[in-house]
Structure 1
Amino acid sequence: MNFSQLDYHWFQAINQLADRVPALNSVMAFCAVNLDYLFYLGIVVYWFIRTPENRRMVVNSLISAAAALGTNGIIGAIYHRDRPFVSHHVIQLVQHEASASFPSNHAAAAFAVATSIWLWRRKDGWVWFILAALIGFSRIWSGIHYPTDIVGGAILGVILAVLIGKLMRWQVLKWLTDGLIHIYELIEHKIWKP
């Protein structure tokens, strides 16, 4: 069995759970489509807690997610892999366009944010990693990604978040980040001043 066949075999094992455990289908479909909104909400909450550490963490998260999605776009343009429902009969719980499947944008962005949070707040980060994994698993369950799409996106998101986290600790970039945050806080203070 070659790697592509093994990937499809893993896909089938997870996707067939939709037939075996249909009670979870609505939860998995919801997670596949909407759980990433919890990441957006989390970023907003961390930002408005207003500690310097949280704000740096949010900047790290946003840059990492943007870098992951940009890199995914380049990979998808160079190497187009059809989604499972294009090439095979699958149990498809959510509708999706037949765009490039590898690597998963949802997994890349979610793991980039989770890693960024983990770099700053270890305990919180583990919760976000679990949620990122749930997004990936639910997208396989729902029939719109192969396992290697999720793993590829996750690896890309983690690597970029770690690299960007290291870059942000360079003194020049740290000053730039802190300066931009300070400018934002001055504006924020003027707007919300009682």
Structure 2
Amino acid sequence: MSFLELNINLFLFRMINDLGKQYPHLNPAMIFIAEYMVFFLALGVIVIWFTRNKKSRMMVVCATITFVFAEIIGKIAGEFHSNNQPFAELTNVNKLIEKAVDNSFPSDHTILFFSFCVSFWMFKRGWWFLWIILAFLIGISRIWVGVHYPTDVLAGAIISIISGSIVYLVVPKLSLTQKLLGGYEKCEQWVLSPLTKSKGKRSKDY
């Protein structure tokens, strides 16, 4: 990283992280987004999956593959460049959550959210751009609470967007993907059919 890039990175970090000192009433919201929004993402994925819509399920499959693919690339990138969290390297950081000191490049949280959110938007478009906004909020929140530099977040976002684009263009067209998803749906139908019949029988009894 050049001296100019380093200065820009530090400037942007200070600008965002210092907002927590200027607007402390926003800190609880940023802590919640940075720490706990991952549970809402998991819940959202489960709900989307069990709508039992084939396109939505393909979307979840592609998002999951994107995350795995992006995470592997992220780990490889981390071998070529590394830096600890800002709170471990800088003074006067507005650290709002606990985090072990390790290589923070690239941001795993950013990779996770951009992998799923970008994939969702690619499949659905329209109002699903709100997922993209959520991914950006996650990235900003991780800087706000002091655990990532802007370059950590930017690298995670770029890796996920590129990975998501490749997966979106390739995976849905593979016959293997279609067969595996179709096989799962047949198994699911076989498991759920007795429950459906039992429910229908009880309804007729009433």
Q: TM-score scaled by structure 2?
A: 0.88
Map 1:9-28 to 2 at 5 A.
9-28=11-30
2:117 and 2:127 map into 1 onto residues whose CA distance is 9
Map 1:118-157 to 2 at 5 A.
118-157=121-160
Opposite residue 105 of structure 2, the aligned amino acid is: F
1:9 and 1:36 map into 2 onto residues whose CA distance is 28
Count of paired positions: 191
Match of 1:160 among 143, 163, 173: 163
Q: In the alignment, is the contact (CA less than 8 A) between 1:103 and 1:149 conserved in 2?
A: yes
Q: In the alignment, is the contact (CA less than 8 A) between 1:85 and 1:144 conserved in 2?
A: yes
> What's 1:117 paired with?
120
Pairwise CA distance, 1:36: 2.0
Pairwise CA distance, 1:83: 1.2
Opposite residue 167 of structure 1, the aligned amino acid is: V
Q: In the alignment, is the contact (CA less than 8 A) between 2:58 and 2:172 conserved in 1?
A: no
Q: Please state whether the residue corresponding to 2:101 is helix, strand or coil.
A: coil
1:25-79 Cα deviation digits (max 9, x unpaired):
1111111111122222221111111111111111100000111112112222332
Map 1:58-73 to 2 at 5 A.
58-73=60-75
User: Percent of aligned positions with the same letter in both sequences?
Assistant: 34
Mean Cα deviation higher: 70-79 or 131-140: 70-79
RMSD: 1.3
1:82 and 1:113 map into 2 onto residues whose CA distance is 26
1:123 and 1:110 map into 2 onto residues whose CA distance is 18
Q: Please state whether the residue corresponding to 2:139 is helix, strand or coil.
A: helix
Pairwise CA distance, 1:123: 2.1
1:83-114 Cα deviation digits (max 9, x unpaired):
10111021100011112111111111211111
Please say which structure displays the higher CA radius of gyration. 2
Opposite residue 171 of structure 2, the aligned amino acid is: M
Structure 2 gap ranges (5+): 196-206
Pairwise CA distance, 1:124: 4.3
Q: In the alignment, is the contact (CA less than 8 A) between 2:13 and 2:150 conserved in 1?
A: yes
> What's 1:97 paired with?
100
1:8 and 1:112 map into 2 onto residues whose CA distance is 26
2:75 and 2:61 map into 1 onto residues whose CA distance is 21
